[in-house]
Every structure is written in structure tokens, then in C-alpha cells.
Structure 1
Amino acid sequence: MRKRLALIATEPTAADLAAIEAEWPLIAAELDVLDAEITMLYAEDHGGPSPLDWRRLRRAEARVTRAAADLAARTDPHRAA
């Protein structure tokens, strides 16, 4: 017997959109890391990654660290204002 999935026709709430907006710098930084990693994989076919490729990856990873720390600092309820 097949079960039918009910369609959910609700839109994201304002709180959902605000949460996405707050997390967007981290999401964008993680996408930059992914892009740098893909570039590194393709570079293996062309003699290996260049120093610029490595630098790009390190900088993207540093952006993720900063964005995660900023997000944690903004959302930590125990942090004194």
C-alpha cells in the first residue's frame, strides 16, 4: 500500500526568514570553501594546486571560522551584552 504525502503549502515565516538572513554570512563562507575545494580537485589534473589555490582555500576557511564565531556571539543567550 502506497502512502500519499501531503503537500505543505505554507510559506516561511518572518522568523524563518530572519534566521536564514542571520546565518547567511556563514552559509556564503561555507560555499566559498566548497568552491575552493572543488578548484583544488580540478587542479590535481593540471599539475597540482598552485600557491594561489592554497591561499584561496586558507582564506575561505578563515572566513568560515570568523562567520561561525560571529554567529555564535550574536545568538548566545548567556553572553552579556
Structure 2
Amino acid sequence: MVEKQYRTRLNGQFSTLLSSLPPDVVGNETDSYGRVDSGAEKKVSKAEVLVLAKKHIENLERTKKSLECDKKALMEDVQRLKGA
């Protein structure tokens, strides 16, 4: 009984993690004609959920670093323009 409750909670947490990922990270299913079926729910294993979440976090970290570099360059431009 305790194990079933544990599995139920764990499965719920994986579902929550998967639903928090953007759709473009999870991907879309295609029908038998190769068309994207946006209404189809893709069955994703627990291992795949973890891999997708890791990739998404790494992408967010890269984006953050890029934005910080852009901000620094813009701040330098502002300082340079103030001095001009």
C-alpha cells in the first residue's frame, strides 16, 4: 500500500514536470501521413522527462548567459554615449 502511494506521488511529480516544459521542448506527434497532430498526446517515459528537463535547463542557462552579455554590451554603450 505504501509503495503504491509512493509510485502514485512520483508519477504525479513526473507529470507535473512534463507539463511545465514548453511544447516545443516536448515535441509534437505526427499522424500516419506525416502531418503534425497538435492534439495528440505524446507518451513520454520518466527517463525522457528527465532528459528533456535537463536540456531545457541547459538551454535556459545558455539564454541567460547570452542575455547577460548583451546587457553588459548595452551598458557599456550607454556609458560610452553618456561620455560623448
Give the shorter-chain TM-score range.
Answer: 0.3 to 0.5
TM norm structure 2: 0.37
Q: Which has the higher contact order (CA 8 A, sep 6+)?
A: 1
TM norm structure 1: 0.38
Q: Which has the higher strand share?
A: 2
Structure with higher Rg: it is 2
